[in-house]
Each structure stands twice: as C-alpha cells, then as structure tokens.
Amino acid sequence: MSRRPLMAGNWKMNLTPAEAAEFARGLRGALLDLPAVDVAVFPTSLAIPAVLNELANTDVVVGGQDLHAEVKGAYTGNVSGEMLKSAGCGMALIGHSERRAYEGEAGEQLANKAKAALRAGLTPIFCVGESLDERESGRTLDIVLGQLADGLGWLTESALGKVVIAYEPVWAIGTGKVASPEQAQEVHAAIRAWVGNTWSAGAARSMRILYGGSVKPANVAGIMTQPDVDGALVGGAALKVDSFEAIVRFQES
Ligand code: PEP
C-alpha cells in the first residue's frame, strides 16, 4: 500500500502572530500547485487563528504543538484538544523531545495526551527518539519502542489508524546532525514491525512514520528514498517559506 507523504513544519516558540500570518500568506502562494503530499504547520497557540485565516480553503493542516489531557479546567497556561479543534486545528504534536526534556513529559501523561487528541478529533503526531548516550550504548530500539508502547500501546487498531508516528533522534534535533538515510530506515522499519506485531500487518502497512532531526532541502530527498520513511517533521528549516517549500517539493528535485 502506498502511503501519502506528510511534510510537517514545527515552528516551536518562533514567529509572532503577525510574522506567522506573513509566513502563511507566503506558503499559500508557494503551494498553489501542491504536489501529492500532505502539508501541516504547527504555530504557537497564539498564532493559530491568524495562520488558519491565511490558509483558509487550502489543504494545509494547522496543528497545535501540544495539548492538555483534560477538556478544560484549572490548568494555567494550557490548551485542550477541544480548544485546538474548535479553533480549526486538525493535528497535535505529542511527546516532542523538547517537551520530554524541558517539561518532564513521559509515559502515562503522554498516553493521556494521545487519548485526548483522539477524543477531540485531532490527529496526534506522536514523537519518539533516543538521546546520543542511548544510541551509543546500543539502546535505540529499546528506548524508541518503549516510548511507543507507553504512549500508544493501549490503542485499538481503529484508533491507531488515526495516529502518525514521528521518529526524532534527540541528537539530530536542531544540531545539524541528520541521521543517515540508513539509520532512519533501520528505526522506521523496527517501528513498523512493532506496529505489525502489536496490532496487524494491515496496521503496519498503513502507519505513517515521519523522520525528524535537521531535515533540510539538501538532505530530504535522500531520507525520503527509504521505504519506511513517510515524511518529515521539520523545525529550523520550516521557518523560511522557500526552504519549507523545497522540502515539501522533495519529489521535484
Ligand atoms: C523538531 O523540532 O521536530 C525538529 C526536527 O527540529 P530540527 O528540524 O530543527 O532539527
């Protein structure tokens, strides 16, 4: 089965609402003839309305960078999946390594966030990845598959069908050190095999698995040649329209 690529730009804590709107206007023009690729952008919560406004009536999906597991309540500083959905979002990042590292997110908390995204009707992009130490001590697959089991292992097969997985080695995020296509493929293949063993061969075939970590116009095509890589989650290189456009158009280069 052929899986449609997904190219996603995570803007992190960058771009004011006005700057994000300007970016979205540029993206709208650049992607008028969108190739056969799904595209998503993840602005800060504050910039979501402006970006949605600029991207109205396009196929570009706008998502939240995080969500709280509860629908509403006394959770200062948080945003719920229902709020993202009602604002017009279609996706949410969950378990990004920066949230794991700086906010201490892990395990059951991330499972609850994935559950909350699905409850709200959002597609979760569930992020996993090993540190350099973990890779160098030969524990990459244990770490990555453990994070997946903790976060997604409770899903029914039909719920799993609404999830996207992003493999993002921590040592490659924002460092300029991209995983080689072979390193990415090895982990993606293991993730797909885990999905197959945990649910079914059909679930494994249809699961979209993105690679993230220093993806740029110059390296995206090589990574996308790998059979188990179905797209990219991009940080730094998604902050300029021309470089994000080049990544989205990787098939044309
Ligand atoms: C990310 O933050 O998800 C990411 C992959 O960042 P970068 O592309 O800058 O490494």
Q: What is the pLDDT of residue 1?
A: 52
d(CA 240, CA 26): 9
pLDDT of residue 34: 80
User: How much is the pLDDT for 74?
Assistant: 98
CATH number assigned to the domain covering 6-252: 3.20.20.70
Does residue 182 have an active-site annotation?
A: no
End-to-end CA distance of the chain: 24
**Distance between CA atoms of residues 201 and 135, nearest Å:** 28
pLDDT mean across residues, the chain? 96
From 12, 94, 132, 168, give the residue whose CB has the most ligand 1 atoms within 8 Å, as the site to mutate: 168
Above 60 in pLDDT, residue 133? yes
pLDDT(176) > 90: no
Q: Which of 82, 98, 168, 188 is catalytic?
A: 168
- Residue 27 confidence class, pLDDT cut points 50, 70, 90: very high
pLDDT at 43 over 90: yes
Active site residue 168: yes
pLDDT digits (tens, 9 = 90+) for 48-71: 999 999 999 999 999 999 999 999
Q: Cα of 200 to ligand 1 centre, how many Å?
A: 30
Q: How far apart are CA 185 and CA 14, in angstroms?
A: 30
% of the chain beyond a pLDDT of 70: 100
Residue 134 has pLDDT above 80, yes or no: yes
In this predicted structure, what is the pLDDT of residue 145?
98
Residue ranges of the domains in the chain?
A: 6-252
Token pair, residue 96, equals: 């990004």
